[in-house]
Structure 1
Amino acid sequence: MKPYDKLLAMRKSDGFHLQKLIVLPDPLLQEASGHPITAGLHVTDIGYFHKAEHHYRNRPAGCPSHIIMYCAEGTGWYSVGGSERHEVNAGNLVVLPANMAHVYGAHASEPWSIYWVHLRGTLSNNYIEPLLNEGVTAMAPAKTQKWLELFHECYGTLETGYSMQTMMYASQIAGYMLGMLAYGSGTDHESMSSKRAAEKSVQYMLQHLEGAVSLKELAAQARLSVPHYSQLFKQATGYSPIDYYLRLKIQHSCRYLDFTDWTVKQISSELGFKDPYYFSRLFSKMMGRSPTEYRNKSKG
């Protein structure tokens, strides 16, 4: 036996203490790929390796599924597409795109404990794409706790049996897990700055919905220049600060329409709009119907 084959055999035969592992059967995956609920996104493999001393994978042709790995403790490393080797520490998340060569493994001195899930589906690229430029990502403790709760829920569901019922539920959980990662997932200084600036501004906007705030005021509240603040806010939300502020006003106006008998003019005035006709036009543009049509629409 060649040295490399001997090494692989050793890695495989040792196994990992406290490991969890579920590999979904091919017939079920084929059924899931054709089902309207699971075709877009579904789990193919999921597991947890505890202090995986000899964990090592080398896939020259990549994996047909996207791989998400979260390092709970210890250290490891990975490389994608022949790129430089990246170090992974406790609290780090790694995303490996499907069908791309990669290699990864645990450090022998302090082997990692990792949670991992393989995902496939017609919409999987859309879910994964926002995460691919992040490299090694660190999750905030609060987000990590929720994400791991979802992981265990997903694993526990699939553990109850191979069926389309469990696949459908696990698929919805997987979508939630990816959504959590995609929202504010960056850890570089720029991404974190934009997230913090946006969060503070949104709270400030919510406290001043009945009045009016200017872009200059919002930038000053965030202690940034107007150009820099505008750039960071749009990076975090996808909207300019004032556009977002107006959207919050319109969202709040819906509550008045739903739960009071105030006139449109009264509501617009309460939310700081001097011209009720402008308010109505803005409402119609954002909501797709006039304030009156919205109020008369059956809800719940």
Structure 2
Amino acid sequence: MRQPRKFSRTLTHHELILVTGGGGSITIGPKTYPVVEGMLYYIASGVHHSFEPDFAQTASFLTVHFSSARVKLVEGNWLIQDEQHPLALPPAQSLKDAYPALDLFQKLVDFWHAKLPGYEFMAKTLLQQMLMAIFVHVKKQHQSDAASLKVEKIIQHMHQHIGDKVTLTELSELVQLAPTYLSRTFKETTGYTVIEFFNKMKIDRAKELLIEGDKKVKEVSQALGYTDEFYFSRIFKRIEGISPSEYYSKNVHGI
């Protein structure tokens, strides 16, 4: 994440810019777009672009830069050709409700900065998964607004009750949908089941509490509605790949 200054440039590779906050405007080729949280901008190789900040609302971005190649099998031989033609992506689109793509974008950036063993291979894999999630989101944008609004209402309810337990019955009554239909709609919209999404939301909050450093793992567990500290730790490790104590040591003490 960075807080950019004014710039004007043309790159020899592709770039994806995800806005995480603030304001301003970005010009891609001949068209200018407002900088709004949740927007994804795609800049193809060779396309001139510029950014004009809004100093009253400092913008913050996550960015991914990448090149691509075309691999072909010709008469039994593999040929690899540099491929810098534009991808089939719009220059600007909203990813505000594209939860799988947003999650993969964040994971990709985190893996790259962490520089753990094998990070380059993992980054390539995550990039491919993220691009697929973005393409799927583009295709699904015809999905009914009513269903999306109900999912947003559920997620807002989860945020407000992050330290509690929620049930599918409770959420179904909240949005007046049958539990089975709600489960299917939520999965189609977010890529997660209701429980998976709520657990991920809790673990994201747990990471914030751990980095603040004034709560023990047991206290964090209890603050997020987990009565069993070891169950909380298992969920944390399943989602993050490391235990809460390891996460704390790595991010607070650099161990």
TM-score (norm 1): 0.42
Q: Which structure has the greater CA radius of gyration?
A: 1
The higher-RCO structure (CA 8 Å, 6+ apart) is 1
